[in-house]
Amino acid sequence: MSKVEHNVPVPTGGRGRPTKYLVPFEEMRKGDSYYLESVDYREIRNMQSSISTRARLLGYKVVTRSNKGGLRVWVLETPPADPEA
């Protein structure tokens, strides 16, 4: 049976599962790049999608290029600095 509940706190934490491909965006500036190695074409495509989505959610603009050995990610723009920080 369903019921309405009041004053139930929203849980804190991340969205969904943690990312498999960690790119240190917080350490990167405009023009920096990062290389991830992989020889599997399917994994490279998954990396491109995952990394591009994460960058967009964090406010970064990136470009990715793949080759037979992996994937390189370049930062084109970083998010604006938070004036309240």
- pLDDT for residue 28: 92
- pLDDT for residue 83: 66
Question: Measuring CA to CA, which residue among 38, 46, 31 is closest to residue 71?
Answer: 38
Domain total of the chain: 1
Using 70 as the pLDDT threshold, list the residues of the chain that sit under it. 13-15, 82-85
- pLDDT for residue 4: 81
Does residue 21 belong to any structural domain of this protein?
Answer: no
55 φ, ψ (degrees, to nearest 5): -60, -45
Does residue 24 belong to any structural domain of this protein?
Answer: no
Residue-range definition of the domain harbouring residue 72: 39-77
- pLDDT for residue 37: 92
Does residue 14 belong to any structural domain of this protein?
Answer: no
- pLDDT for residue 15: 67
Does residue 82 belong to any structural domain of this protein?
Answer: no
Does residue 49 belong to any structural domain of this protein?
Answer: yes
| Rounded Cα gap, residues 78 and 67, in angstroms | 25
Alpha-carbon dihedral angle through residues 58, 31, 27, 66, given to the nearest 10 degrees? 70
Does residue 17 belong to any structural domain of this protein?
Answer: no
Handedness of CA 66, 69, 70, 76 (dihedral sign): negative
| Rounded Cα gap, residues 52 and 75, in angstroms | 11
